[in-house]
């Protein structure tokens, strides 16, 4: 059985790598807010977490990891992103035992209103426009064997600029394999697989007058043509291993390779020191990223009641030429 699982995983890895390669041309993709990682724990690990995501945040990083949720869990993340951009994430997951684990999440990106300028009024018209994006996600994960788990997510995506709106949907697929060699685990995830999105709205309707000198000529109704854009398709593969120092402490090392459709190959390495399963220190480093590189963080876990737990996490991420980004997460298990 173990051999069959390994063969299946390797086959999936090779086929998914080939699929990712088909979309590997460097360029641009829209819905970039989908690439802003959630869960301060994983940001502190340099986002080397496809094989370590073992809580409610697995919905984002690898839905197969949701099988580690033992009961109910709710979570919230706040990201003070670059410039005036902020991101909020809220999620809920529940384990239905033999049926599997279901999860729901909402991601909302917002920014301060911007003043509208024109050629005739370059200093501003006194009017403002807003920009926002959000995604609603439904996830499901199931443990197929003692060592192998599979997960899938569906997400509805909406982006808005002033009066224009783009809507779409996407799927995530993930696997998680405990190899049987001590604590070594392998994982993969492909995220944001879906059709192109395209903006539409009333501001794209225009009137064209081919002969402005003729007052009897009515203008023609027209529409500005807007090109569709790809979703940020991303393929991740990674591994994780626990080094036990004693019954009270261990070090988790994680490695990840990442293949986005709008950038070059990237990688991450992360480490988490766990003391008594209550206190956590984390560090991570990103390879071949334009701005992001070092991530640092920590966390604290405590019991509120006999059956309720509270987890608080913080991460600081260096963004190079931009201001550093601070992330805060809280989750409750019950």
Contact of 208 with 220, CB cutoff 8 Å: yes
Q: Could you count the other beta carbons within 10 Å of the beta carbon of residue 57?
A: 29
> Whats the size of the chain, residue-wise?
334
Q: Where are the domains of the chain?
A: 2-268
Q: What is the pLDDT at residue 2?
A: 52
Per residue in 8-51, pLDDT (tens digit) is 444 544 444 444 444 445 557 999 999 999 999 999 999 999 99
Q: What is the pLDDT at residue 295?
A: 96
**285-320 core/surface letters (b: 16 or more CB in 10 A; e: else):** bbeebeebbebbbbbebeeeeeeebebebbbbbbbe
122: left (phi over 0), alpha (psi -120 to 50) or beta: alpha
Q: Could you count the other beta carbons within 10 Å of the beta carbon of residue 218?
A: 9
Residue 222 class from Cβ within 10 Å (0-12 exposed, 13-18 middle, 19+ buried)? exposed
Nearest to 37 by CA among 91, 87, 74, 93: 87
Handedness of CA 66, 68, 72, 75 (dihedral sign): negative
3-state secondary structure at position 65: helix
Q: What is the pLDDT at residue 146?
A: 94
Cα(51)–Cα(7) distance, integer angstroms: 18
Residue 210 class from Cβ within 10 Å (0-12 exposed, 13-18 middle, 19+ buried)? exposed
| Largest pairwise CA distance in the chain | 89
Q: What is the pLDDT at residue 55?
A: 97
Q: What is the pLDDT at residue 24?
A: 44
Calculate the CA 240 to chain-centre distance: 19
Q: What is the pLDDT at residue 17?
A: 46
Q: What is the pLDDT at residue 23?
A: 46
Q: What is the pLDDT at residue 25?
A: 54
Per residue in 106-148, pLDDT (tens digit) is 999 999 888 888 888 888 888 898 899 999 999 999 999 999 9
3-state secondary structure at position 273: strand
Q: Which residues of the chain have pLDDT under 50?
A: 1, 4-6, 8-10, 12-24
């Amino acid at each position: 059985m173990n051999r069959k699982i390994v063969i299946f995983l390797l086959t999936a890895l090779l086929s998914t790598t080939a699929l990712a390669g088909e979309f590997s041309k460097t360029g641009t993709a829209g819905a970039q807010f989908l690439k802003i990682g959630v869960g301060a724990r994983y940001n502190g690990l340099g986002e080397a977490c496809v094989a370590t995501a073992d809580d409610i945040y697995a919905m984002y990083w690898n839905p197969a990891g949701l099988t580690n949720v033992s009961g109910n869990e709710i979570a919230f993340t706040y990201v003070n992103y670059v410039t005036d951009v902020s991101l909020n994430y809220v999620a809920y997951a529940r384990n239905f035992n033999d049926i599997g684990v279901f999860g729901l999440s909402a991601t909302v990106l917002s920014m301060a209103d911007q003043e509208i300028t024109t050629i005739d009024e370059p200093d501003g018209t006194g009017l403002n426009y807003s920009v926002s994006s959000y995604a609603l996600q439904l996830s499901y994960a199931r443990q197929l064997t003692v060592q192998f788990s599979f997960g899938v997510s569906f997400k509805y995506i909406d982006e808005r600029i002033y009066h224009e709106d783009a809507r779409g949907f996407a799927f995530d697929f993930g696997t998680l394999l405990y190899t049987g060699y001590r604590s070594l685990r392998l994982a993969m995830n492909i995220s944001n697989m879906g059709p192109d999105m395209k903006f539409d709205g009333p501001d794209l309707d225009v009137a064209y007058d081919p002969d402005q000198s003729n007052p009897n000529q009515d203008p023609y109704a027209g529409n500005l043509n807007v090109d569709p854009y790809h979703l940020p398709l991303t393929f991740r593969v990674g591994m994780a291993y626990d080094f036990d120092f004693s019954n009270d402490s261990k070090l988790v090392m994680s490695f990840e390779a990442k293949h986005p459709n709008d950038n070059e190959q990237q990688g991450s390495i992360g480490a988490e020191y766990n003391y008594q399963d209550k206190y956590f220190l984390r560090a991570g480093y990103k390879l071949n990223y334009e701005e992001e590189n070092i991530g640092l963080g920590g966390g604290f876990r405590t019991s509120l009641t006999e059956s309720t737990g509270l987890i608080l996490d913080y991460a600081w991420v260096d963004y190079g030429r931009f201001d550093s980004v601070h992330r805060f997460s809280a989750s409750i298990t019950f």
